[in-house]
Amino acid sequence: MAAQHTILLVGESNVGKTHYGAQFLKRLMVKGGALKMSGAPTNLEAFTTALSCLSEGKSTDHTPANIYVESVWPISDEAGRYAELVWPDYGGEQVRNLVTQRRIPAAWHERVLEATDWVLLIRLHSLRSEDDLFSRPLQSFAAAALEEEAPAYEPSDQARTVELLQMLLYLAHFHLDRPLQKPRLTILLSCWDELETTELPADLLASRLPMLWSFVRSNWTSPTVIGLSALERALSKTDADQEYAIRGPEEFGYVVLPDGVKDSDITLPIQRLMADGT
């Protein structure tokens, strides 16, 4: 009986979940990476559109908000370990709604309970960086205008992400009394190519989202932070990228491992989870 790895893939809209899923699947099919497909996948429906877009060198459409599909892929690694990888694809609004509406649909509750590994996708480039009194002091405080109505505001990106992880931990019945070994947490900093940085992924996360990093580091014994560029370059929805069309999407995309090494095998984040998992 193959071990089952159910990935809880968590990411808000537009972080690149579908692109990563499609590229991952493509790598499994061409058997070029550390993980290979062993047998036929049960259902590719979720990724057919994305795969055909990428093959032409176009980016795929936004996954509709209400969709949640899972596909099961039989995989094996170089050491001969077999596993069934359950990979989801869904509209990222669902994740944001968990935090804003604070009502957890039963389906999400089950997913969290079943998952063996958590993969959180964060696209640093799309997060706001806000100045406050300490980063940009105010020379003279204007007399506080007496607006008594509460100003509308959105919680900061860090607070929202920390709250999301706290909610997931609660749903999965984990307590923070001691730092957690399981579920293993991998943070993928997606669209790494946009960031144009040479920093190590963990250092970059620590400097950009220090509160989130502190939360992760104090509650997990060994969190992993990996940079991910699933496409390697920005693709347009309408204009095909010629090189993509000619060489195929499997020739593009890379990960930046925790030690800063760049590798074109984007299955490595999951392979690492399988390797330490059992």
Residue choice 40, 80, 102, 259 for contact with another protein (CB under 8 A): 102
| Nearer of residues 28 and 162 to another protein, judged by Cβ | 162
Other residues' Cβ atoms within 10 Å of the Cβ of residue 209:
23
| Nearer of residues 12 and 250 to another protein, judged by Cβ | 12
| Nearer of residues 112 and 266 to another protein, judged by Cβ | 112
The reply to whether 182 sits near another protein by the rule CB under 8 A is no
The reply to whether 103 sits near another protein by the rule CB under 8 A is yes
Dihedrals φ, ψ of 74, to 5°? -75, 120
Query: Segment contacting another protein (CB under 8 A): 23-31, 162-170, 180-188, 270-278?
Result: 162-170
Question: What dihedral do alpha carbons 123, 125, 130, 135 form, nearest 10°?
Answer: 110
The reply to whether 138 sits near another protein by the rule CB under 8 A is yes
Query: Segment contacting another protein (CB under 8 A): 14-22, 42-50, 81-89, 124-132?
Result: 124-132
Query: Segment contacting another protein (CB under 8 A): 130-138, 191-199, 224-232, 258-266?
Result: 130-138
Are 233 and 246 in contact, with CB atoms under 8 Å apart? no
Residue choice 1, 40, 79, 106 for contact with another protein (CB under 8 A): 106
DSSP-assigned letter for residue 220: B
The reply to whether 234 sits near another protein by the rule CB under 8 A is no
User: What would the x/- binding string for another protein be over residues 23 to 62, using CB under 8 A?
Assistant: ----------------------------------------
Question: In whole angstroms, how close is the CB of 212 to another protein at the nearest point?
Answer: 9
Residue choice 6, 18, 116, 158 for contact with another protein (CB under 8 A): 158
Give me 141's structure tokens: 């405080």
What CA–CA distances, in Å, run from 13 to 62, 93, 97, 126, 256? 8, 6, 11, 10, 22
Count the residues in the chain: 278
Q: Binders of another protein: how many residues, by CB under 8 A? A: 49
DSSP 180-218: B-SSEEEEEEE-HHHH---S-HHHHHHHHSHHHHHHHHH
Residue choice 177, 196, 239, 259 for contact with another protein (CB under 8 A): 177
Q: Is the dihedral of CA 34, 40, 43, 46 positive or negative?
A: positive
- Give the strand pairing for 82-90 and 3-10: parallel
The reply to whether 252 sits near another protein by the rule CB under 8 A is no
What CA–CA distances, in Å, run from 190 to 17, 110, 125, 182? 9, 26, 9, 23
Interface with another protein by CB under 8 A: which residues? 101-106, 109, 130-139, 141-142, 144-145, 147-148, 150-151, 153, 155-156, 158-159, 162-163, 166-167, 170-171, 176-179, 206, 210-211, 213-215, 217-219
